Amino acid sequence: MTQSVVVGVDGSAESTAAAEWAAGQARRSGRTLRMVHAGGPQAPLSEQPGDPAEPLPEEVRALRNRLVDALPDLEIHCEHVPGNPAHALAAAGEREGMLVLGSRGRGGAAGLVLGSVALQAAAHAACPVVLVRSGADDGGTGGDVVVGVEGSRPCDEVLAFAFARAAEYGTGLRALESVTLPAGPYVTDAPMARPEIRESMAASETVRLQDALARWREKYPEVRAEAEVTGWPAGRALVEASRSAALVVLGRRTPRLLPTAPRLGGTAYTVLHHAHGPVAVVPHE
């Protein structure tokens, strides 16, 4: 059975942007589009567009009908599911392997960039979650896919997701790593403060990152992949890169020993709140 791209919809401008992004993603990946409206105690009802009993907001039904008319070759389903919206949407996305959400829903407080449902799903879902902001470009129509990496062993799950999206979009990939020297006297004292020493360290890290990308280049020869090392803080570097990126991809560690531990670090919070385009959060151990 063909998998779907699941998108949460509630009639807000952000969820409309998310549905349009998800529709493009579904077409490129050969999947169907599954629009899910979650919340409330009602039982799931019919997906038939003409069913007057379905508890879908008028804005959601209008959006579905508009996407059906605009994309007649795309199989689109729309449904209501009961329960806590974050939990229900995460469960729907986990069954299909991807969840797309607006960065802030209809119930979001004015001035907040990231809504509670989006934040909970990004922090706890067991599948990649893509957050789309109203006004952001449709992924794949612009620049490269940018993936944030860290440490000596970039995460396979995160790189696999990023390379697959770049291949679908027909664009390049930028693997971006932030490397900063530790604070203290060693930073300001010679020889660590000398520009040539810093440049040498950055070049060494770039070579290491290039080596880590080698097997992914072999798997996706059509993707032009570049390694980039920056001295900027990771959050700032990724937010700046998002200005021209088709998609920014981040990893999210899934704690095994401490299930209640924080799921999103400072870099993820910074990027999710300030990115200029869609951001994907990919869970990994």
- Same topology, domains 4-132 and 145-284? Answer is yes
Q: Which helix (H) or strand (E) holds 248?
A: strand 247-253
pLDDT at 207: 87
Domain ranges of the chain: 4-132, 145-284
Architecture of domain 4-132: 3-Layer(aba) Sandwich (3.40)
**111: confidence class by pLDDT, cuts 50, 70, 90:** very low
Among all chains, which residue has been given the structure tokens 């798997």?
Answer: 219
Q: Across the strands, what pairs with 147?
A: 175, 249
As a CATH number, domain 145-284 is 3.40.50.620
Rounded Cα gap, residues 105 and 133, in angstroms = 10
**154: confidence class by pLDDT, cuts 50, 70, 90:** confident
Q: What is the pTM of this model?
A: 0.85
| Residue 100: how many other CB atoms lie within 10 Å | 32
Is 263 a residue whose pLDDT tops 50? Answer: yes
Q: What is the largest CA-CA distance in the chain?
A: 75
Cβ 126 vs Cβ 283: under 8 Å? yes
Rounded Cα gap, residues 262 and 276, in angstroms = 25
**148: confidence class by pLDDT, cuts 50, 70, 90:** very high
Rounded Cα gap, residues 189 and 268, in angstroms = 32
Nearest of 91, 1, 79 to residue 47 by alpha carbon: 79
